[in-house]
Structure 1
């Protein structure tokens, strides 16, 4: 028999590349499917949400200004780091979602593969949704995608890891930064993901992870004037309606929750294009000169 003391893990938020406790000092109990205590998770406050938005905005310029190829390298590095901590995530996903070890392993493998999927799309999505437009006149007319800005995400409640990766990765792959509210009942895989991101090449503030009650944190994010988009995937019907109304104040892009969302299916490019803007540039040809204008 071992005489060692149990070393319990203290989970913290991930904001601006650092690991703060909740500003309010609150925590809540996280339990497995059988009601067994797993850990205490930070219960984020609205102030934590505002701090996360500040961090995301600060990181946006550098992240959106990086080359698409470089963003792809960074995302692939996250997949490498997840692969190295695979067993930890298998255990946490099994406990969080009440899965057998083999089923949890399949979920974790799918999540790692999803990072690789989006890493590969970073320098290709521009060719899919951008291009040259035919115009009547001596002009080149080119449309190119640009990131929306700071995106708030209510993560899926049931799919605590694969679903989480599926809503975060496409946002950052296309150059936006994200503030995500993890699954309320199963936040531990998300909080552990913060530890992976902190030791990868992802700049601090690009991804910010909050835990707690979405009903408490999300309304202030939806109304925040420095948030440019919001993904309501993990919100119930009543909360989603409230958040969409709040988001209209500064014309945020909104992704509504879907009746059925299968995160094991081929993700396609839908989420990649949700939080992209299109910039169109007109450039004269021939004798009109070399200066151009953008609208």
Structure 2
């Protein structure tokens, strides 16, 4: 066999609504490794791409938030299974993107897969942790239960292109939200490849939408979008985070501010609860046939 065959380069695309569009603008930008070597051309998302992603996320929200917590856990675990089967690809992309040795990149990918399993296990338990029965005066049951916030924009971590990405995306969808992810501008390849895994898993299209491009250019219209209910500013620098938070205030979005994070540490439950609301239901005691009133 001849060694002179041409290499088949991977074409990276956005992941929106369960499909793989190119940017509607037709623009791309070059992604390089830590040494400046060219890796790929990836889509440079536009404001229109951002709006399309929000439409897809909103369309998917009813079905995803209405699914049982157990079913969401099964789907998240299935994603972990599929990541395990494509581990070599992600190890290569993480090593190139973050300038890590192959062994260190393998540790990062293993941790990311374990993180999916962690959150898969929490989907049907978080309600027991943050919900409860409240003591009230009178012949009533008073129950508090968590509900997802809605459509959440996530500005993914810039440096931790895969473990950090999983650590911010998995808890938000585990809680029943749908998301629009602005991938790391410098290292978007693992995020775009994650879209390929999600598309072939049991996750409904639109639950996760992945955009690549200039972080500030994509995040600004999403922060101001009236149909976005929350925004995670983890991957925004100090100046951009302030601008996005001001824009998010226009429709009282729930905001998760950037903070120093060790993604290798125990993640806890704070990201699971960051985009949950509390519904309180009153129900009269001794009248099991009566319907309660929610406030």
Which residue pairs with 1:81 in the alignment?
82
Q: Residue 146 of structure 1 aligns to a residue in which SS?
A: strand
C-alpha distance in 1 between matches for 2:114 and 2:288? 50
- RMSD value, Cα: 1.0
Q: Residue 159 of structure 2 aligns to a residue in which SS?
A: coil
Task: Give me the TM-score of the superposition, normalised by structure 1.
Answer: 0.98
C-alpha distance in 2 between matches for 1:33 and 1:276? 37
Which residue pairs with 2:269 in the alignment?
269
| 1:291 to partner: Cα distance | 3.0
Change (3 A) 1:126 1:5: same
| 1:288 to partner: Cα distance | 10
| 1:3 to partner: Cα distance | 2.1
Deviations 1:67-109 (A, max 9, x none): 0000000000000000000000000000000000000000000
C-alpha distance in 1 between matches for 2:170 and 2:289? 42
Task: Give me the TM-score of the superposition, normalised by structure 2.
Answer: 0.98
Moved more, 283-292 or 212-221: 283-292
C-alpha distance in 2 between matches for 1:89 and 1:162? 11
| 1:286 to partner: Cα distance | 3.1
2:93 equivalent to 1:92: yes
Query: Which ranges in structure 1 are unaligned for 5 or more consecutive residues?
Result: none
Query: Which ranges in structure 2 are unaligned for 5 or more consecutive residues?
Result: none
Which residue pairs with 2:175 in the alignment?
174
Task: Work out the number of aligned pairs and report it.
Answer: 294
Which residue pairs with 1:142 in the alignment?
143
Superposed counterparts of 1:1-295, under 5 Å: 2-258=3-259, 260-286=260-286, 290-295=290-295
Q: Residue 205 of structure 1 aligns to a residue in which SS?
A: coil
C-alpha distance in 2 between matches for 1:154 and 1:288? 46
Q: Residue 95 of structure 2 aligns to a residue in which SS?
A: helix
C-alpha distance in 1 between matches for 2:116 and 2:63? 21
